[in-house]
Amino acid sequence: MNPAKNKFIIQLLLFSGILGVIAYGLTFVLPGNYFSPVLPFLFPFFFSMTAIVFNYLMKSTEKKFNRFANRFMLTTFLKLFVYLTVLLIYVFTHKEDAIPFIFSFFILYAAYTVFDVIFLLKYTRQENNGLPLP
């Protein structure tokens, strides 16, 4: 297995664990109606989506940068489409839990996206021998 992939998965596990501990800690501070009952299931969902997309993008860095840029845009669009689909299906089927779910989903989406972009930028810069990306 690629060392960069191993490093990413380990850091993603640690990141997910830290987010889980923070979410668990917030359950003692904030009222119970602020949290969706499906919040624990959102962590594996975002973890797996992030890992799958990173693995696909990492394979594309082995080819031309143009191809990587195209694949990055395509996977970002597809990922957003999947996220929006999951969000809409849940909100329309569980209207009583819509607001806490949307809030939790958005927070996790933002956190995992920032993590993914930071790690991907570090990886692609290392692949380009430390040169800034064009």
> What does the pLDDT look like over 105-130, one tens digit per residue?
999 999 999 998 888 888 777 666 55
Long-range residue pairs from 11-19, CB within 8 A, at least 24 positions apart, any chain: 11/115, 11/119, 12/47, 12/50, 12/51, 12/54, 12/115, 13/47, 15/111, 15/112, 15/115, 16/43, 16/46, 16/47, 19/43, 19/108, 19/111
Residue 131 lies in a domain: no
Q: Residues of the chain with pLDDT > 90: what percent?
A: 54
For the entire predicted model, the pTM comes to: 0.86
Residue 133 lies in a domain: no
Residue 67 lies in a domain: yes
For the chain, how many structural domains are there in total?
1
Domain span including residue 58 = 3-31+40-126
Residue 61 lies in a domain: yes
Residue 9 lies in a domain: yes
Please tell me which residue, 105 or 31, carries the higher pLDDT value. Answer: 105
Residue 71 lies in a domain: yes
pLDDT of residue 31: 83
